[in-house]
Amino acid sequence: MKRYKSRAAFLIIAIVFLGLTYLPLLASETTLDVFAREDGIFENLTAVYLLVASVVFVNGFFRFRKSSWLLRWSYLGLALLFFVGAGEEISWGERIFKWNDHNYIRDINVQGELTLHNLKYFQGEEAVIPLNTSQLLLVFAFVFTLILPLVCRLFPKVGRFLTPIFPVMPLDIGVLTVATYVFQKAMLRILPLFPGLYQHPSMPIPQGVHEMREHGFTFALLVSAIFYFSAKRDAKKAEDSSGSPGALTSTGALLPLSVEGEGEKG
């Protein structure tokens, strides 16, 4: 019971933190620039979250060697995805390391940056997909942290099939994704109604809000990964001490393997 109370307390604190990240929208032009402009605090934090999540999944690949090879390779695939996301977020260090002279794709990049997600094939009139990367992040965050865990909870057979081959995040952490979505929708509705609250003369309201939304979604992804592997570590310790295989539920609790189906292969 104490463990669940501490987890609930953490989620409440995390939700409050995500809500506070939208306060710069109500601050001065200079303050908002510091937080929401290119290479600002939120963009850099987003990259850090993705990079740390990548490291977490790489660690899981090496630490849980007894897991099925499909599950371990899923860890590695997600690690690569998050690493690429971190690199793309900061344009692969183009401005940090002054690589501008070696940007060979600037002519087909809508922002003239060293990034793949800003290529004209993914944005603008020549885009081949109807969603931009910000929308794709939204979809991925909801599927990965909320929809997939919820499906596995509602349909145990799906959970027993999926958990040995793909990481299913703790369901309760998905509340951070929902909170981020609610906060950004609220700000997009409220700020235009009260123009005096928003003081930036050149940054459109959606631009600032979307930077904070991306920060919130990547924060939720990182927290989900940390809690997932924390629960796997606890399950492994319980298995080692009892000699009986254990499994993780979508909330990170330990259950007999016959109930949930995620174990470690011997």
Match 């090879």 to its residue by tokens.
69
CB-CB contact of 21 with 212 (8 Å): yes
CB-CB contact of 211 with 42 (8 Å): yes
Name the DSSP class of 129: S
> Does 123 reside within a domain?
no
Give the tokens for residue 120.
Answer: 């004209």
CA atoms of 90 and 68, how far apart (whole Å): 34
The pTM assigned to this predicted structure is 0.84
Q: What is the pLDDT of residue 114?
A: 59
Three-class secondary structure of residue 254 per DSSP = strand
Going by their DSSP bridges, the two strands 254-256 and 246-248 should be labelled as antiparallel
Helix axes 205-242, 174-193, angle to 10 degrees: 170
Query: If we measure between CA atoms, which residue out of 17, 72, 40, 59 comes closest to residue 216?
Result: 17
Q: How far apart are the first and last CA of the chain?
A: 31
Query: If we measure between CA atoms, which residue out of 87, 117, 85, 83 comes closest to residue 99?
Result: 87
Q: What is the pLDDT of residue 181?
A: 97
Q: In the chain, how many domains are there?
A: 1
Query: If we measure between CA atoms, which residue out of 165, 143, 142, 140 comes closest to residue 81?
Result: 140
H-only helix segments in 90-204:
133-142, 148-154, 156-162, 174-193
CA atoms of 81 and 181, how far apart (whole Å): 22
> Does 250 reside within a domain?
yes
Can you point out the beta strands (E) in the chain? Answer: 246-248, 254-256
Computed from CA positions of residues 8, 10, 16, 19, in that sequence, does the dihedral angle turn out positive or negative?
Answer: negative
> What pLDDT tens digit does each residue of the chain (266 aa) get?
667 788 999 999 999 999 999 999 999 999 999 999 888 899 999 999 999 999 999 999 999 998 999 999 999 999 999 999 998 888 776 766 666 655 556 665 556 565 665 555 566 656 556 667 788 899 999 999 999 999 999 999 999 999 999 999 999 999 999 999 999 999 999 999 998 899 899 999 998 999 999 999 999 999 999 999 999 998 888 877 776 555 555 445 434 333 333 444 43
> Does 208 reside within a domain?
yes
State the residue range of the domain holding 78. Answer: 2-89+131-260
| Cα 51 to chain centroid, rounded | 11
Question: Residues with Cβ < 8 Å from 17, sequence gap 6 or more?
Answer: none
Q: What is the pLDDT of residue 95?
A: 67
Q: What is the pLDDT of residue 265?
A: 42
> Does 220 reside within a domain?
yes
> Does 135 reside within a domain?
yes
Q: What is the pLDDT of residue 235?
A: 86
